[in-house]
Amino acid sequence: MGKLHAGIMVDGKRIHRELPEGATSGDAKLVEMELRASGALPMTAVLALFVKHAQALRSAETAKHQAKRLGP
Protein backbone atom coordinates (compact mmCIF):
# COMPACT_ATOMS: atom_id res chain seq x y z
CA MET A 1 0.00 0.00 0.00
CA GLY A 2 1.37 3.46 -0.92
CA LYS A 3 1.60 6.62 1.09
CA LEU A 4 -1.47 8.78 1.58
CA HIS A 5 -1.56 12.43 0.59
CA ALA A 6 -3.69 15.41 1.67
CA GLY A 7 -4.09 18.53 -0.44
CA ILE A 8 -6.27 21.60 -0.87
CA MET A 9 -6.35 24.73 -3.06
CA VAL A 10 -5.85 28.14 -1.38
CA ASP A 11 -5.66 31.36 -3.42
CA GLY A 12 -5.21 29.32 -6.58
CA LYS A 13 -2.24 27.43 -5.15
CA ARG A 14 -2.16 23.80 -4.14
CA ILE A 15 -1.09 22.99 -0.58
CA HIS A 16 0.05 19.38 -0.40
CA ARG A 17 1.16 17.16 2.46
CA GLU A 18 2.46 13.61 2.26
CA LEU A 19 1.53 11.49 5.26
CA PRO A 20 3.92 9.01 6.87
CA GLU A 21 3.76 5.27 6.23
CA GLY A 22 0.93 3.63 8.13
CA ALA A 23 -1.32 6.71 8.15
CA THR A 24 -5.02 6.01 7.68
CA SER A 25 -7.54 7.74 5.44
CA GLY A 26 -8.96 9.28 8.63
CA ASP A 27 -5.52 10.79 9.32
CA ALA A 28 -5.49 12.23 5.79
CA LYS A 29 -8.93 13.78 6.31
CA LEU A 30 -7.79 15.29 9.61
CA VAL A 31 -4.70 16.82 7.98
CA GLU A 32 -6.88 18.19 5.16
CA MET A 33 -9.27 19.73 7.69
CA GLU A 34 -6.35 21.36 9.53
CA LEU A 35 -4.99 22.73 6.25
CA ARG A 36 -8.39 24.22 5.42
CA ALA A 37 -8.69 25.81 8.86
CA SER A 38 -5.24 27.40 8.62
CA GLY A 39 -5.87 28.71 5.09
CA ALA A 40 -9.39 30.00 5.65
CA LEU A 41 -10.12 33.47 4.34
CA PRO A 42 -11.98 35.96 6.51
CA MET A 43 -15.55 36.61 5.41
CA THR A 44 -14.73 40.22 4.49
CA ALA A 45 -12.11 38.97 2.01
CA VAL A 46 -14.57 36.49 0.51
CA LEU A 47 -17.21 39.22 0.11
CA ALA A 48 -14.67 41.56 -1.49
CA LEU A 49 -13.80 38.86 -4.03
CA PHE A 50 -17.50 38.29 -4.73
CA VAL A 51 -18.17 42.01 -5.26
CA LYS A 52 -15.31 42.07 -7.76
CA HIS A 53 -16.74 38.99 -9.50
CA ALA A 54 -20.26 40.51 -9.45
CA GLN A 55 -19.21 43.07 -12.06
CA ALA A 56 -19.42 40.28 -14.66
CA LEU A 57 -22.89 39.11 -13.60
CA ARG A 58 -26.11 39.98 -15.40
CA SER A 59 -27.55 41.81 -12.37
CA ALA A 60 -24.31 43.16 -10.94
CA GLU A 61 -25.93 45.87 -8.81
CA THR A 62 -28.26 43.37 -7.12
CA ALA A 63 -25.38 40.99 -6.40
CA LYS A 64 -23.26 43.82 -4.95
CA HIS A 65 -26.15 44.98 -2.78
CA GLN A 66 -26.72 41.45 -1.44
CA ALA A 67 -23.01 41.00 -0.67
CA LYS A 68 -22.89 44.29 1.22
CA ARG A 69 -25.89 43.20 3.32
CA LEU A 70 -23.90 40.12 4.45
CA GLY A 71 -20.86 42.13 5.53
CA PRO A 72 -20.07 43.61 8.93
> What's the pLDDT tens digit per position in 22-69?
889 899 888 888 888 876 667 777 788 888 888 888 888 998 888 888
State whether 64 and 48 are in the same domain.
yes
DSSP 1-64: ----EEEEEETTEEEEEEPPTT--HHHHHHHHHHHHHHTPPPHHHHHHHHHHHHTTSTTHHHHH
pLDDT for 49-59, tens place per residue? 888 888 888 88
Indicate yes or no: pTM above 0.85.
Answer: no
State whether 33 and 54 are in the same domain.
no
Reference 19, options 36, 5, 37, 38; nearest CA is 5
Domain residues for the domain of 67 are: 41-72
pLDDT for 1-16, tens place per residue? 578 888 888 777 788 8
State whether 72 and 46 are in the same domain.
yes
- Cα-based distances in Å from 32 to 24, 36, 44, 53, 58: 13, 6, 23, 27, 36
Give the chain's domain count. Answer: 2
